[in-house]
Structure 1
């Protein structure tokens, strides 16, 4: 880095979250690789099941496919770099790489919330307005709802990253296992007013989607209390969604609590767990929740497994 007026032009960041892990790097590498392979396996299996089976080409399953893609996208921004760092004696990341990693990881995490809001709206229309479902959820509207989470998130975080890239930094030490936009902002020795404004806009954006989810389920529950048939449909198709929502909400709440109130007094191991838990649990549990709870997906996956097994035996 080059120095000028007590500020610096940072070209590399040092990641200090690895300090206590390097003594057991072989164990952490094995567990991380196993976890990443499991994430790829369960998400790709669910995506292929939905894509290959025309009976599953319905809005609910297409949005679920979108949720799995989001999980793969975010973990790709973390796991390969993390595995390389465990094999290396020096844990560093370039300035551009840091901004990119932050963009990918947090785009994925926030896209999960928006996709779950879209899925809540879909379930509301399916259960509360069943006769209007196909006229409301047209192909054009489904296409818009597929792209909406990604376009909105990419626009929001692109602005945040561009604003962050304009900051003068007075340090290059990131106390985490990966890059986060808020940690780069903390290193700034120039005004961060613009970053705070875009941060508040982002918070408002997600509060609106959380309120949409709450309103959708308030209508759903009120409607289901009046009908046994609707109650059964709610339990079959909405319970997996609620479990996924709880899964993502708890994980992101931990990340938010850590980013805002994390203390250096906490052990490094606990800080590391808080930092990565939203990259471990939602990407693994979401496909498993839907794969086990939704009958059609479970039947299709079992069918594919049986057919694959028979083909292997015949060969």
Structure 2
């Protein structure tokens, strides 16, 4: 058995439990929210969508990576690569759009509590949930169309998974359309991030004058803020490693940083919400006690 094979088996022994743990944690939170009528509120509905999105992202990444680690089969068809790219783009954009909607929901709940039931009506919630999924799907389709605009001239992918940049790099040439798409995406990310930061700035200012709001902030907003910062930091690792790859990073560190945003947020999100949200925590404890 070669040292490389032993190394791959070691990574597999951590990756498979990590994938299974991610599925169990997110599926548990989804089922708790789905079956507990007391949790059929906007905040928990958006949280449920976040967990579904996390499952989509990890399922787009883990199975193919596990096959590679177990068999050292590092070939993937163009069709499979496109599908994986679609799923991962939907996850990446969906995570940010979901977190932005959740920030706006918390802002209205804390800063405009009397108007909250009217503003966050069932129609509004359905519209926001639709946006959470339609926008990432639209972005992913545009990204793939731009990436596959030109014929394929290369066949090597410098990552453990396929994503938009990988497909673009396979093309015979690049044109201005990819730059325009990138500019539009950076503008969208800036808008989403700005919405979250402005919402939390206003929430923090409102909490300074009210103990009740301070309690709401620590019980419902703090988990969301932690998750948002966690996702931004993990995404920064992925976006920055491309530039650093040729200069300072080893191959192993490069690979690790490229998958952080696909592996860490999906497993951390349900843990943080399960611990910090009182109603979710109470339901989990009830289930554990019932089983005992």
Contact 1:185–1:192 (CA under 8 A) maintained in structure 2? no
Q: 1:150 aligns to what?
A: 133
Aligned counterparts of 2:289 and 2:58: Cα–Cα separation in 1? 30
Q: 1:207 aligns to what?
A: 190
Q: 1:273 aligns to what?
A: 256
CA gap of 1:88–1:62, structure 2 versus 1, over 3 A, is same
> What RMSD in Å do the two structures reach over aligned CA positions?
1.6
Contact 1:291–1:298 (CA under 8 A) maintained in structure 2? yes
Question: Which is greater in Rg?
Answer: 1
Contact 2:157–2:166 (CA under 8 A) maintained in structure 1? yes
Out of 104-113 and 138-147, give the one that drifted further.
104-113
2:240 aligned counterpart, secondary structure: helix
| Structure with the bigger percentage of strand | 1
1:172 aligned counterpart, secondary structure: coil
Q: 2:210 aligns to what?
A: 227
| Structure with the bigger percentage of helix | 2
Aligned counterparts of 1:180 and 1:89: Cα–Cα separation in 2? 20
Shift of 1:91: 0.7
Shift of 1:102: 1.2
Q: Which runs of 5+ in 1 are unaligned?
A: 1-19, 310-315
Correspondence for 2:47 among 60, 64, 71: 64
Q: 1:141 aligns to what?
A: 124
Q: 1:92 aligns to what?
A: 75
Matches for 1:56-135 after TM superposition, within 5 Å: 56-135=39-118
Correspondence for 1:255 among 222, 238, 241: 238
Aligned counterparts of 2:124 and 2:60: Cα–Cα separation in 1? 30
Q: 2:222 aligns to what?
A: 239
Larger RCO: 1 or 2 (CA < 8 Å, sep 6+): 1
Shift of 1:272: 1.0
Deviations 1:229-275 (A, max 9, x none): 11111111110011111111111111111234432652111011111
2:193 aligned counterpart, secondary structure: helix
Q: 2:168 aligns to what?
A: 185
Aligned counterparts of 1:167 and 1:47: Cα–Cα separation in 2? 41
Aligned counterparts of 1:300 and 1:263: Cα–Cα separation in 2? 49
1:168 aligned counterpart, secondary structure: coil
Aligned counterparts of 2:254 and 2:225: Cα–Cα separation in 1? 28
Shift of 1:88: 2.0
Aligned counterparts of 1:159 and 1:112: Cα–Cα separation in 2? 18
Shift of 1:190: 2.2
Q: 2:149 aligns to what?
A: 166
Shift of 1:89: 3.6
Contact 2:148–2:168 (CA under 8 A) maintained in structure 1? no
Contact 1:244–1:282 (CA under 8 A) maintained in structure 2? yes
The number of aligned residues is 291
Contact 1:240–1:293 (CA under 8 A) maintained in structure 2? yes
CA gap of 1:21–1:145, structure 2 versus 1, over 3 A, is farther
Q: 1:38 aligns to what?
A: 21
Aligned counterparts of 2:70 and 2:192: Cα–Cα separation in 1? 40
2:76 aligned counterpart, secondary structure: strand
